[in-house]
């Protein structure tokens, strides 16, 4: 029974001490909260402070979390577990180690944070120091006055000297409700007072050194001086509520100020939300316009592709028609030239037949003349023979002379006829060659003329097609440039709107 009472007394004596430590650490955090630049870090700190403020089961664990958070806020870098939102439910034990809370408060209020004067005590920075694990139950609270430290050891020692701080519980509860973490955002106050403005006595006890008998683990017997100190402490408690009233009033004033600031912040948040809604609406409109422009560009591309496809098909059909007509014309020209060649062949054959007839006629004439001459010669010979017979040698000589003349004339006429025949043959051959050359040249000229006409027609068709395609491409490029110019103007207008409303954007 006595052991249970001791545990109960220890628990009741720890609760106000832990709450006081919690408020002191909050006051230390307050001067470093303005150094946070990141909104995410600020929201994480806010959520963690709300979570720790609501934690009432394990206050020792809560204070360890708060000390670690204070050091990370001073370093302006959040590390696990404070880099994420707190989990729902009770706090888990601190993951790395369990430490003495009073010792950590002494670390937070380091030598740099504890100068000689009381004013510098509340403005010095937190210093990171290595943590040392100590026994929590055997060490009296270092931040409490001497009276409470003595009562702490006496509660462990005996039942007669029990100290129940149950009478202070409503006050602690009220103070913890009024001094929440929201006081950290109060920018109006330049100095930080972890204890009330009128609590000079508590500040005195806060800096008063602890006696050596608090660290003694051996039980002590109550003496007369202890009973006198106890009576004095009971008398002193009558003056404490009057001092705390001043602190409560100051805290209430600060609470009203923070509520006003919260209302202003809420109005600012509402304005920002309305601006965000307008910006979202503008962004949606811009996205819709961009989508419409993209759809319009796609439709233009599809229509241009379809038009090009139809034009290409039409020109291909025209080219095929021209090719077919040109082939028909070539076939007609070939047929006409074949007819002409056949006519020329027929004419040549008729000319050959006429030439042969002429040659045969001339040969017949020559033969007839030769026959006549032979007949005449035969007749002359007969006459000569008759003359020889009838007349004398004179006639024979005359006849011989005549015969020799006749022979000369015959040979001469024969040579002339042969020359004429050769001339006629040469003339006929020349005419034949000339006709053949004329036919070949006419054929070459006709072929060249037809190929040149065909090539000219094909070149004209290709030139017309090239001109039409160039005109189409120029028209298409002009349309694309106009659309691009229109889209660029629209994008510039929309980007100016985005810049005007400070909306981040990326184009392509």
Q: What is the DSSP string of 180-203?
A: -GGGGG--S--S--SS-TT-HHHH
Binning pLDDT at 50, 70 and 90, where does residue 270 land? very high
Q: Is 7 inside a domain boundary?
A: yes
Q: Exposed e or buried b for every residue in 316-335, given b needs 16+ CB within 10 A?
A: eeeeeeeeeebeeeeeebee
Q: Is 383 inside a domain boundary?
A: yes
**Per-residue pLDDT reduced to its tens digit, 286-338:** 889 888 888 888 888 888 888 888 888 888 888 888 888 888 888 888 888 78
DSSP 3-state of 162: coil
pTM to 2 decimals?
0.24
Report whether pLDDT(269) > 90. Answer: yes
What is the DSSP-derived secondary structure letter of residue 142? T
Q: Is 14 inside a domain boundary?
A: yes
Q: Are 36 and 69 in contact (CB under 8 A)?
A: no
**What's the mean pLDDT in 172-182?**
41
**What's the mean pLDDT in 110-117?**
39
Q: Is 193 inside a domain boundary?
A: no
Query: For the chain, what is the domain count?
Result: 2
Considering only CA atoms, which of 137, 135, 136, 164 is closest in space to residue 151?
164
Residues 177 and 304 grouped into a single domain: no
Q: Is 277 inside a domain boundary?
A: no
Residues 313 and 179 grouped into a single domain: no
Q: How many CB atoms lie within 10 A of CB 24?
A: 20
Report whether pLDDT(267) > 70. Answer: yes
Report whether pLDDT(177) > 80. Answer: no
Q: Is 273 inside a domain boundary?
A: no
Last residue of a domain, one of 194, 217, 238: 238
**Per-residue pLDDT reduced to its tens digit, 369-428:** 778 777 877 877 777 677 655 555 666 666 667 777 776 777 777 788 788 888 888 888
Report whether pLDDT(187) > 80. Answer: no
Model pLDDT, residue 273: 92
**Per-residue pLDDT reduced to its tens digit, 202-248:** 344 434 333 333 334 343 444 444 555 544 444 444 444 666 778 88
**Per-residue pLDDT reduced to its tens digit, 28-63:** 887 777 777 777 878 888 878 877 777 666 777 777
Last residue of a domain, one of 200, 216, 238: 238
**Per-residue pLDDT reduced to its tens digit, 67-91:** 888 888 878 777 787 777 777 777 7
Residues 179 and 306 grouped into a single domain: no
Report whether pLDDT(115) > 50. Answer: no
Q: Is 211 inside a domain boundary?
A: no
Report whether pLDDT(103) > 50. Answer: no
The four Cα atoms 331, 332, 333, 334 give a dihedral, to 10 degrees, of 50
Q: Exposed e or buried b for every residue in 417-439, given b needs 16+ CB within 10 A?
A: beeeeeeeeeebeeeeeeeeeee
Model pLDDT, residue 351: 81
Q: Is 249 inside a domain boundary?
A: no
Residues 371 and 495 grouped into a single domain: yes
**Per-residue pLDDT reduced to its tens digit, 362-371:** 778 877 877 8
Rounded percentage of the chain residues whose pLDDT exceeds 90: 3
SS (H, E, C) 96-129: CCCCCHHHHHHHHCCCCCCCCCHHHHCCCCCCCC
Last residue of a domain, one of 204, 222, 238: 238
The range of the structural domain enclosing residue 128 comes to 2-184+232-238
Q: How many angstroms from the chain centroid is the CA of residue 503?
A: 18
**Per-residue pLDDT reduced to its tens digit, 459-500:** 888 788 888 878 887 887 888 888 888 878 877 887 787 778
């Amino acid at each position: 029974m006595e052991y249970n009472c001791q545990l109960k007394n220890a628990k009741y004596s720890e609760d106000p001490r832990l709450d006081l430590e919690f408020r002191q650490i909050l006051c230390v955090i307050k001067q470093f909260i303005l150094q946070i630049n990141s909104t995410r870090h600020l929201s994480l700190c806010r959520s963690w402070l709300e979570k720790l403020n609501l934690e009432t089961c394990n206050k020792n664990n809560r204070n360890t979390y708060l000390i670690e958070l204070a050091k990370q806020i001073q370093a302006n870098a959040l590390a696990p577990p404070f880099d994420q939102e707190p989990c729902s439910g009770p706090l888990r034990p601190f993951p790395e180690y369990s430490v003495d809370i009073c010792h950590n408060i002494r670390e937070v209020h380091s030598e740099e944070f504890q100068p000689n004067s009381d004013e510098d005590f509340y403005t010095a920075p937190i210093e990171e120091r290595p943590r040392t694990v100590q026994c929590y139950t055997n060490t009296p609270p270092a931040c409490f006055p001497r009276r409470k430290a003595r009562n702490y050891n006496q509660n462990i020692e005996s039942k007669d000297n029990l100290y129940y701080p149950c009478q202070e519980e409503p006050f602690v509860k009220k103070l913890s409700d009024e001094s929440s973490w929201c006081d950290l955002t109060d920018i109006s106050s330049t100095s930080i007072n972890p204890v009330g403005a009128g609590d000079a006595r508590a500040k005195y006890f806060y800096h008063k050194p602890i006696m050596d008998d608090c660290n003694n683990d051996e039980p002590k017997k109550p003496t007369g001086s202890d009973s006198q100190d106890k009576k004095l402490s009971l008398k002193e408690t009558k003056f404490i509520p009057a001092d705390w009233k001043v602190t409560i009033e100051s805290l209430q004033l600060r609470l009203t100020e923070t509520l006003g600031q919260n209302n202003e912040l809420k109005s600012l948040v509402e304005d920002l939300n309305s601006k965000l809604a307008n910006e979202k609406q503008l962004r949606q409109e811009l996205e819709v316009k961009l989508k419409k422009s993209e759809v319009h560009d796609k439709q233009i591309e599809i229509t241009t592709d379809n038009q090009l496809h139809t034009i290409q098909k039409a020109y291909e059909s025209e080219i095929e028609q021209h090719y077919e007509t040109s082939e028909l014309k070539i076939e007609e020209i070939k047929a006409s030239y074949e007819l002409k060649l056949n006519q020329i062949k027929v004419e040549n054959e008729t000319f050959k037949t006429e030439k042969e007839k002429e040659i045969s006629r001339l040969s017949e004439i020559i033969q007839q003349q030769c026959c006549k001459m032979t007949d005449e010669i035969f007749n002359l010979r007969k006459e000569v023979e008759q003359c020889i017979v009838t007349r004398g040698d004179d006639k024979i000589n005359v006849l011989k002379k005549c015969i020799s003349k006749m022979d000369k004339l015959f040979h001469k006429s024969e040579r002339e006829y042969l020359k004429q025949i050769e001339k006629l043959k040469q003339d006929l051959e020349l005419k034949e060659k000339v006709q053949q050359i004329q036919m070949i040249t006419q054929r070459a000229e006709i072929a060249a003329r037809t190929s040149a006409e065909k090539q000219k027609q094909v070149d004209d068709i290709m030139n017309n097609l090239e001109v039409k395609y160039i005109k189409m491409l120029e028209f298409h490029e002009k349309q694309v440039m106009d659309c691009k110019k229109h889209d660029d103007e629209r994008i510039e207008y929309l980007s100016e709107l985005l810049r005007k409303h400070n909306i981040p954007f990326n184009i392509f």
